């Protein structure tokens, strides 16, 4: 099975930093974000190749330059994206996925030690065409107060909150037959095809999209270096969970 890392976003939330380097190259303890993700994915036996999809004609070229000459335990391939949305860009990896029934899609700003082996087993058991990692528990970044009769009776400093509706994360397992659906949609829409709203939403209406709950596994959206400064303890915890 191949794993595709989607790294072609413009990093709007990370500006002004992402005016100078792509989100994938945000430094964490002296190494770029994407280095952690590549090494984490390399640790799974079910993955035999890692494909990095990015805009190498622009800042994405820094990603390719970083990995040149470095030893990676799995085959590493670089493919130019087309800036045609999270769905449209996947068409460019269709040749590499030929002969495979499924593939992993990992959005580069997702920092998490998800057990992909368990997620894949769950996906196969559900006989779905797609599976999204979701979570019900989230570590709050602010403190909360318990109030009774208008008086604060207790403080809860950054508690673990159980959400009413599970949150979708940027890690997917998808059947390669989804690519034909994307190709068909692109003929009508041409550009900016959103994977979730233009493709996966239809699957959900047909009970063909499953959700793998990561439980209380730590997760973080790495949107900018400022995010890292605010969440140093969480970053260290995730790195320990990744065991790399």
pLDDT, one tens digit per residue, over 56-73 is 988 999 999 999 988 888
| Banded model confidence at residue 143, pLDDT cuts 50, 70, 90 | confident
61 compared with 138, residue with greater pLDDT: 61
Q: DSSP letter at 18?
A: G
Cα 138 from Cα 105, distance rounded (Å)? 22
Domains of the chain: 2-136+165-242 (3.90.550.10)
46 vs 19, higher pLDDT: 46
**Predicted local distance difference test score (pLDDT) of residue 217:** 93
pTM equals 0.89
- Distance of alpha carbon 225 from its chain centroid, rounded? 17
pLDDT of amino acid 141 = 65
Q: What is the mean pLDDT of residues 107-134?
A: 97
Cβ neighbours for 146, distance < 8 A, ≥ 6 positions apart: 152, 153, 154, 155, 156
Tens digits of residue pLDDT in 188-244: 766 678 899 889 999 999 999 999 999 999 999 998 888 888 888 899 999 999 998
Mean pLDDT over 42-50 rounds to 96
What pLDDT is recorded for position 14? 66
Res 95 pLDDT > 70: yes
Q: Do residues 112 and 41 lie in contact, with contact meaning Cβ atoms separated by under 8 Å?
A: no
């Amino acid at each position: 099975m191949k794993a595709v890392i989607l790294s072609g976003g413009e990093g709007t939330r990370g500006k002004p930093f992402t005016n100078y380097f792509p989100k994938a190259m945000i430094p964490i303890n002296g190494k770029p974000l994407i280095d952690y993700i590549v090494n984490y994915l390399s640790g799974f036996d079910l993955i035999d190749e890692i494909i990095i999809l990015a805009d190498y004609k622009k800042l994405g070229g820094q990603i390719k330059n970083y990995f040149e000459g470095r030893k990676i335990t799995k085959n590493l391939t670089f493919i130019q994206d087309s800036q045609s949305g999270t769905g449209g860009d996947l068409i460019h990896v269709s040749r590499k996925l030929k002969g495979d029934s499924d593939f992993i899609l990992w959005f580069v700003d997702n920092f998490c030690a998800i057990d992909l082996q368990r997620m894949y087993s769950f996906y196969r058991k559900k006989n779905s065409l797609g599976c999204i990692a979701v979570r019900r528990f989230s570590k709050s970044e602010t403190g909360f107060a318990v109030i009774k009769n208008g008086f604060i009776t207790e403080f809860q400093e950054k508690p673990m909150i159980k959400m009413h509706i599970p949150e979708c994360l940027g890690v997917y397992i998808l059947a390669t037959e989804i690519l034909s659906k994307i190709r068909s949609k692109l003929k009508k829409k041409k550009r900016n095809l959103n994977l979730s709203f233009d493709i996966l939403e239809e699957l959900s209406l047909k009970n063909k999209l499953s959700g793998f709950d990561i439980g209380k596994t730590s997760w973080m959206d790495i949107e900018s270096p400022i995010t890292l400064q605010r969440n140093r303890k969480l970053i260290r915890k995730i790195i320990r969970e990744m065991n790399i």
